[in-house]
């Protein structure tokens, strides 16, 4: 009986070497070099096994391939290949029903044995929680966003020197996130309006003399990266059919808020210039 295996990895040498070895062990192997190519293979062909590198171009995006296989071919065995055995995302992948993970450099006999073992005792019916929209993922991971945000802010000299307490920074973050989450919950395509008076506006106004346009934009760029990372960490739970438009709404909200803050800063700087004259 032919056992069809999809192997997704962005390193050509590994794709060639592992494919040859697995073919010699009786597998019919199809390879893919990118997430997009892997998704195309999954939707057009039938597989018994998926082995995907955890990091295909970007950290953790192998979970996108796993998620697609789980929902398209739930009876297939799914395995993650990672160079970081203690990497948090790899452990989270296992908790999210990835069948196993293999540490690079893979011991071939152990790898083949693990695949054979999984195939010999196929999983029963899989119970998947309903996929989540990005707004729900962000709402459920506010503590994680806070952690990443504060760490990045502390590492950036200009942001770290702003005279804000930890409590003020968190209050500021929550007010921005509130608008972001509301925007991500707006699916009708209506245009987002600039935010009104919020705690973030008041905190910003109290400390406006220490802001520059560069520092302000850096602050929004940090939050944009943090949100993207949190979504990436939770890709197995995200509804992939909506992730692109949802993230577009998130980014649109951040842009609207950044434009409003820059306009306020520009007005204040103009007023200060007038006073000097």
Instruction: Give tens-digit pLDDT for 115-131.
Output: 888 888 766 656 666 77
Residues 60 and 90 reside in one and the same domain: yes
The residue among 197 and 74 whose pLDDT is bigger is 74
Q: What is the pLDDT of residue 199?
A: 43
Q: What is the pLDDT of residue 107?
A: 81
Q: What is the pLDDT of residue 75?
A: 86
For range 84-100, the mean pLDDT: 59
Residues 110 and 139 reside in one and the same domain: no
CA distance 276 to 175: 33
Residues 138 and 270 reside in one and the same domain: yes
Q: What is the pLDDT of residue 60?
A: 74
CA distance 148 to 131: 24
Residues 34 and 61 reside in one and the same domain: yes
Residues 83 and 173 reside in one and the same domain: no
SS3 79: strand
Which of 71, 89, 120 is a domain's end point?
120
Q: At 89, is the pLDDT very low, low, confident or very high (cuts 50, 70, 90)?
A: low
Q: Does residue 156 belong to any structural domain of this protein?
A: yes
Task: Please give the span between the terminal C-alpha atoms of the chain, in angstroms, as a whole number.
Answer: 86
SS3 4: strand
Residues 114 and 210 reside in one and the same domain: no
Residues 107 and 160 reside in one and the same domain: no
Residue 202: pLDDT over 70 = no
Residue 198: pLDDT over 50 = no
| Tens-digit pLDDT profile for residues 169-193 | 888 888 889 889 988 887 545 555 5
Q: Does residue 128 belong to any structural domain of this protein?
A: no
Residue 28: pLDDT over 90 = yes
Residues 255 and 149 reside in one and the same domain: yes
Q: What is the pLDDT of residue 204?
A: 54
Residues 162 and 228 reside in one and the same domain: yes
Q: Does residue 126 belong to any structural domain of this protein?
A: no
Structure tokens at 45: 């062909």
Which of 120, 152, 187 is a domain's end point?
120
Residues 159 and 106 reside in one and the same domain: no
The residue among 201 and 122 whose pLDDT is bigger is 122
Residue 68: pLDDT over 90 = no
What residues make up the domain containing 93? 3-120
The residue among 126 and 239 whose pLDDT is bigger is 239
Whether 44 contacts 15, CB under 8 Å: no
Q: Does residue 129 belong to any structural domain of this protein?
A: no
For range 125-152, the mean pLDDT: 85
Structure tokens at 3: 């056992």
CA distance 113 to 101: 13
Residue 41: pLDDT over 90 = yes
49: closest CA among 5, 102, 112, 101?
5
Which of 120, 149, 180 is a domain's end point?
120
This prediction has a pTM of 0.60
Residue 61: pLDDT over 90 = no
The total number of structural domains that make up the chain = 2
CA 66 to chain centre: 14
Q: Does residue 125 belong to any structural domain of this protein?
A: no
Residues 15 and 92 reside in one and the same domain: yes
Q: Does residue 127 belong to any structural domain of this protein?
A: no
Q: Does residue 228 belong to any structural domain of this protein?
A: yes
For range 94-110, the mean pLDDT: 73
CA distance 104 to 93: 16
Q: Does residue 109 belong to any structural domain of this protein?
A: yes
Alpha helices in the chain (DSSP H): 12-24, 35-44, 62-72, 88-95, 108-120, 134-140, 142-155, 157-160, 166-184, 199-206, 213-233, 243-276
Most confident option among 9-18, 199-208, 232-241: 9-18
Residues 140 and 272 reside in one and the same domain: yes
Percent of the chain topping pLDDT 70: 79
CATH number at residue 23: 3.40.50.2300
């Amino acid at each position: 009986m032919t056992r069809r295996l999809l192997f997704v990895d962005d390193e050509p040498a590994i794709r060639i070497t592992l494919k040859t070895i697995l073919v010699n062990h009786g597998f019919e192997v199809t390879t893919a070099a990118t997430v997009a190519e892997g998704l195309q293979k999954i939707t057009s062909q039938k597989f018994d096994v998926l082995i995907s590198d955890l990091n295909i171009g970007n950290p953790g995006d192998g979970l996108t391939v796993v998620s697609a296989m789980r929902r398209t071919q739930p009876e297939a065995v799914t395995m993650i290949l990672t160079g970081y055995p203690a990497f948090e995302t790899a452990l989270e992948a296992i908790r999210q029903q990835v069948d196993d993970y293999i540490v690079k450099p893979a011991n071939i006999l152990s790898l083949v044995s693990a695949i054979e073992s999984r195939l010999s005792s196929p999983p029963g019916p899989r119970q998947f929680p309903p996929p989540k929209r990005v707004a729900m993922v962000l709402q459920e991971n506010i503590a994680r966003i806070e952690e990443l945000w504060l760490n990045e802010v502390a590492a950036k000299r200009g942001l770290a020197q702003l005279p804000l307490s930890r409590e003020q920074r968190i209050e500021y973050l929550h007010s921005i996130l509130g608008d972001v989450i509301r925007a991500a919950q707006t699916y009708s395509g209506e245009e987002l309006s600039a935010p009104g008076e919020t705690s973030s506006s008041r905190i910003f106004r109290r400390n406006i003399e220490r802001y520059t346009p560069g520092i302000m934009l850096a602050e929004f760029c940090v939050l944009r990266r943090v949100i993207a990372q949190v979504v990436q960490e939770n890709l197995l739970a995200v509804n992939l059919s909506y992730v692109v438009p949802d993230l577009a709404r998130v980014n649109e909200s951040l842009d609207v808020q950044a434009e409003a803050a820059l306009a306020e800063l520009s007005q204040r700087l103009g007023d200060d210039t007038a006073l000097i004259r």
